[in-house]
């Protein structure tokens, strides 16, 4: 029945009722009623148990249907068929099922406004490439205004040439540098820090200076940014930091990195409470191909990535764009605060 209805709907000149029937039969709440029914009695019983009901088509689509008019917009439910865009606003409900929502309703219900960065100023501390670069470009694409800050403003200016970004110098390990930057920036809606100084090595190889440098950049740096920028951030603004998957699953040779990331998680949670309603979150990346592993050499890097991709539930290595996508969500979701979001393809689970 379902395949026959779809075949009829796909024919040239199919009527709106025929297409509507095909759309209706494509809904899970309907197919679950039909599938498995071998007799009229079984179908009747399934229908009675499902309590299916179809909400009224909204007025513009109803008038089109009655006049046998065609819309140029394709339908998202019956592919490649003209004149069925309005059917996407119809709702099929079965017992225990949630109503289907259109994209705007879903965004509203989740409290996410993907245009929330339009004309907002986002300060991004980090390099002009990798994760910081991907976030900067994503913010720009979303209509935000970017201020890129780091230890090498000339390199940032070159990386973002022609993009109309603000370029500033800052060293997050130097409080006076952070304070000076806050004095130069009139206002900011969001602050993002991707700065890090990784202290790799086993416990026998680590030195106090190496560990202190890691904490200074990645854990103390965010504290200084919060201290000097909190009063400039509006109540609906936020801060976003970088943690790491090792905070959840330490691995040999990454002891200080794991400790630093765990400290970032604690700083994030604490600041979320102290700075409320300003939101504070962190992202915990897994293995991300940003060029940081290039020093291993092509063969060793390929072998490492292959091994981690094979063990990773997502079965691949992450990209800077993966992190940027979650960063946009963290910056725009007004009901998300105090958390470190793992973006590691499930790496910490295995």
Ordered by start, the domain boundaries in the chain are 2-100, 121-349
254-298 pLDDT tens trace: 899 999 999 999 999 999 999 999 999 999 999 999 988 898 899
C-alpha span between 63 and 212 (Å, rounded): 70
Query: Measured in whole angstroms, how far is the alpha carbon of residue 259 from the centre of its chain?
Result: 25
Return the CA Rg of the chain. 26
C-alpha span between 308 and 274 (Å, rounded): 38
- Please give the CATH superfamily to which domain 121-349 belongs: NAD(P)-binding Rossmann-like Domain (3.40.50.720)
Q: What is the pTM of this model?
A: 0.69
Query: Measured in whole angstroms, how far is the alpha carbon of residue 67 from the centre of its chain?
Result: 43
* Closest residue by Cα to residue 169 from 211, 208, 126, 206: 126
Judging by DSSP bridges, how do beta strands 238-242 and 190-193 pair with one another?
parallel
C-alpha span between 305 and 263 (Å, rounded): 27
Residue 124: strand pairing partners? 148, 192
> Euclidean distance between the first and final Cα of the chain, in Å?
44
Handedness of CA 338, 343, 347, 350 (dihedral sign): positive
pLDDT at 62 over 50: no
pLDDT at 319 over 90: yes
C-alpha span between 314 and 329 (Å, rounded): 20
Residue corresponding to tokens 């950049």 = 217
Query: Measured in whole angstroms, how far is the alpha carbon of residue 35 from the centre of its chain?
Result: 36
Give the pLDDT band (50/70/90) at residue 201. confident
Judging by DSSP bridges, how do beta strands 190-193 and 340-343 pair with one another?
unpaired
C-alpha span between 228 and 180 (Å, rounded): 9
- State the Cα torsion 310-312-314-320 to the nearest 10°: -100
208-255 pLDDT tens trace: 999 999 999 999 999 999 999 999 999 999 999 999 999 998 888 889
**How many other CB atoms are found less than 10 A from the CB of residue 159?**
19
Residue 207: strand pairing partners? none
DSSP classification of residue 100:
P
74-127 pLDDT tens trace: 344 334 444 444 444 444 434 333 344 444 444 444 444 657 899 999 999 999
What are the distances in angstroms from CA 196 to CA 233, 259, 341? Answer: 23, 13, 17
């Amino acid at each position: 029945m379902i395949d026959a209805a779809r075949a009829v709907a796909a024919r040239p000149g199919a009527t709106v009722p025929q297409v509507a029937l095909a759309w209706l039969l494509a809904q899970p709440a309907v197919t679950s009623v039909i599938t498995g029914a071998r007799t009229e009695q079984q179908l009747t019983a399934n229908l009675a148990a499902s309590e299916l009901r179809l909400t009224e088509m909204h007025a513009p689509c109803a008038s089109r249907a009655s006049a046998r008019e065609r819309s140029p917009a394709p339908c998202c439910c019956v592919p490649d068929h003209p004149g069925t865009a309005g059917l996407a606003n119809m709702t099929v409900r079965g017992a225990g099922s949630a109503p289907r929502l259109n994209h705007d309703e879903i965004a509203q219900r989740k409290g996410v406004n993907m245009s929330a960065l339009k004309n907002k100023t986002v300060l991004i501390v980090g390099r002009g490439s990798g994760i910081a670069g991907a976030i900067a470009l994503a913010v720009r694409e979303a209509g935000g205004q970017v201020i890129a800050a780091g230890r090498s403003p000339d390199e940032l200016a070159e990386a973002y040439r022609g993009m109309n970004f603000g370029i500033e110098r800052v060293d997050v390990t130097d409080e006076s540098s952070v304070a000076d930057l806050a004095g130069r920036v009139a206002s900011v809606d969001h602050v993002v820090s991707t700065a890090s100084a990784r202290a790799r090595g086993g416990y026998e190889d680590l030195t106090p200076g190496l560990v202190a440098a890691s904490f200074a950049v990645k854990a103390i740096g965010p504290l200084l940014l919060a201290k000097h920028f909190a009063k400039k951030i509006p109540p609906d603004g936020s801060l976003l930091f970088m943690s790491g998957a090792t905070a959840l699953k330490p691995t040999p040779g990454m002891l200080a990195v794991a400790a630093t990331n765990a400290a970032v998680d604690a700083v994030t949670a604490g600041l979320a409470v102290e700075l409320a309603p300003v939101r504070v979150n962190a992202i915990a990346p897994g293995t991300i191909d940003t060029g940081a592993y290039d020093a291993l050499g092509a063969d060793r890097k390929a072998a490492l990535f292959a091994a981690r991709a094979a063990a990773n539930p997502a079965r691949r290595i992450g990209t800077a764009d993966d992190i940027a996508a979650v960063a946009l969500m963290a910056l725009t979701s007004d009901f998300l605060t105090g958390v470190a979001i793992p973006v590691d393809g499930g790496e910490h689970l295995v």
